[in-house]
Structure 1
Amino acid sequence: MRTASPAAIAIVKATAPAIEKHGVEITTAMYARLLQDLEIAALFDRAAQESGEQPRRLAGAILAYARNIDKLENLGTAVQRMVARHVETGVKAEHYPHVAAALLPAIRDVLGAEIATDDVLNAWGEAYWMLADILIAAEAQAYEAAQAA
């Protein structure tokens, strides 16, 4: 499982105020990119997208992660809910690179290159993959448990 470097963790925590201020704008831009892929778009609840509920939920999750990246135990129940939702909707490991490819450019688009420097995007890339690995492993266990039941 990947981990984020201490430098990346510090950068992610330092960007939490920008995520708090612009999170919904970032996630809305991310979903606009992500949902261009029709296979991936089929995994999402259209009503939650159109109402703005899903971008708001994800923005809140990203902010909580930014604030707690060095205290992941604080995110246990949120991660469990995310895993359950992902399994319910059929999210698989192969979908995660698509999300990264949509999220990281959305951060730069919204925050601008002055704030979302290469170092900031690299830190968020490390942070994303650290969390993605946790989710992928937990989802694999949940899929196995569901098949065994």
Structure 2
Amino acid sequence: MSNSLSQTTIAIVKSTGPALRKHGVAITTAMYARLFQDEAVKAMFDQAAQDSGEQPKRLAAAIIGYAENIDRLEALGGAVARMVARHVQTGVQPDHYPKVAAALLPAIRDVLGEEVATDEVLAAWAEAYQFLADILIGEEAKAYAEAA
């Protein structure tokens, strides 16, 4: 995985690690509430895992892992492989990623507040999210092709 994120973005995203550790599940719970306003997207998810809180916890752990390892993405290989497998299993497509970003970024601001989740922080997270989305989309395309 080549690292084409700017050093500024890496530093900002890493600096949000402690806040994410403290508030990660609140952020992902708020994100899913936004995301599930789209019934077609909601139908792709295991609602039992939502209701139990398992899925918000899982996503929060993934986001924290990404934030804390963004300067050494090779450490995330296993997590990326698991996400790709799960995404292919549930039919995730490239056009789903912007919907998640549109739910995640406001959720970060809602939970952390504007003093922590400044425009600069949200811009860094938008860049970091897109970078990871591009990796996942590429790996998922290969997996879909192999399955076909």
So what's the TM-score if we normalise by structure 2?
0.97
- The question of whether the paired residues in 2 share the 8 Å contact of 1:12 and 1:123 is answered with yes
Give the match for residue 118 of structure 1.
119
- The runs of at least 4 aligned residues of structure 1 exceeding 2 Å deviation read 1-4
Give CA-to-partner distance per residue, 1:39-60, whole Å, 9 cap, x none.
1011100000111000000000
Q: Letter of the aligned partner of 2:17 in structure 1?
A: A
d(CA) in 1 for partners of 2:22 and 2:6?
25
Could you report, residue by residue, the CA deviation over 1:44-102 in whole angstroms, capped at 9, with x for unpaired residues?
00000111000000000000000001101000011000000000000000000000000
3-state SS of 2:45 partner: coil
SS of the residue corresponding to residue 71 of structure 2 reads: coil
Q: Which residue of 2 aligns with 1:26?
A: 27
CA drift of 1:2 comes to: 8.8
Equivalent residue runs for 1:42-81 within 5 Å: 42-81=43-82
Q: What is the deviation of 1:3? A: 3.4
Please provide the CA RMSD for this pair: 1.1
Aligned equivalent of 1:101: 102
Q: Distance in 2 between matches of 1:42 and 1:2?
A: 34
Long gaps (5+) in structure 2? none
SS of 1:61 mapped into structure 2: helix
Q: Alpha-carbon deviations, 1:84-134, whole Å to 9, x = none? A: 000000000000000000000000000000000000000000000000000
Equivalent pairs, count: 147
Q: Partner letter of residue 93 of structure 2?
A: K
8 Å CA contact 1:2, 1:129 repeated in 2? no
Aligned equivalents of 2:36, 2:3: Cα separation in 1: 27
Identity %: 68
Superposition pairs for residues 85-100 of structure 1, below 5 Å? 85-100=86-101
TM superposition score normalised by structure 1: 0.97
* 8 Å contact from structure 1 (residues 3, 127) kept in 2: no
